[in-house]
Amino acid sequence: MAKQLVDKEIAENAVMVFSKSYCPYCTMAKKSLKEIAAEFKVMELDKRSDGSAIQQYLSQLTGGSTVPRVFVHGKCIGGGTETKQLQQSGKLIKLIRQEA
């Protein structure tokens, strides 16, 4: 079930963030996206009964078990630190606009 849900959300949203509401790295990633006025969808795993199953599948999918897991056009760009670095370098907006 988690696999279908994750795959669907990644496919349907240009920018998809799998997050936990209390996680500072998740906050960093969401802030970086907000600063470039990106449209993105967030799924807060700590507020879902299937959150751990989703996180387990994300780990298999991306090789990283931590949150956030940020996807741009179906590709995982990493977590909070990577998202912030991409935003600061100007590459994040290009990835989202598919200019890169």
Instruction: Tell me what the mean pLDDT of segment 54-68 comes to.
Output: 97
Average pLDDT for the chain:
97
List 17's β-bridge partners, or say none: 42, 70
Each residue of 16-33: pLDDT tens digit?
A: 999 999 999 999 999 999
Q: Going edge to edge, which strands form the sheet with 69-72?
A: 41-44, 15-19, 69-72, 75-78
Report the predicted TM-score, pTM, of the whole model to 2 decimal places. Answer: 0.96
Which three-class secondary structure state does DSSP give residue 85?
helix
- What pLDDT is attached to residue 45? 98
Instruction: Tell me what the mean pLDDT of segment 66-75 comes to.
Output: 98
For 2-96, the fitting CATH number among 3.40.30.10, 3.40.50.20, 3.40.190.10, 3.40.50.720 is 3.40.30.10
The two three-digit tokens of residue 61, written as one number: 């999918």
- How far is CA 12 from each of CA 66, 73, 87, rounded to the nearest angstrom? 22, 9, 22
> Contact 61/12 with Cβ under 8 angstroms?
no
- What pLDDT is attached to residue 100? 53
- What pLDDT is attached to residue 99? 83
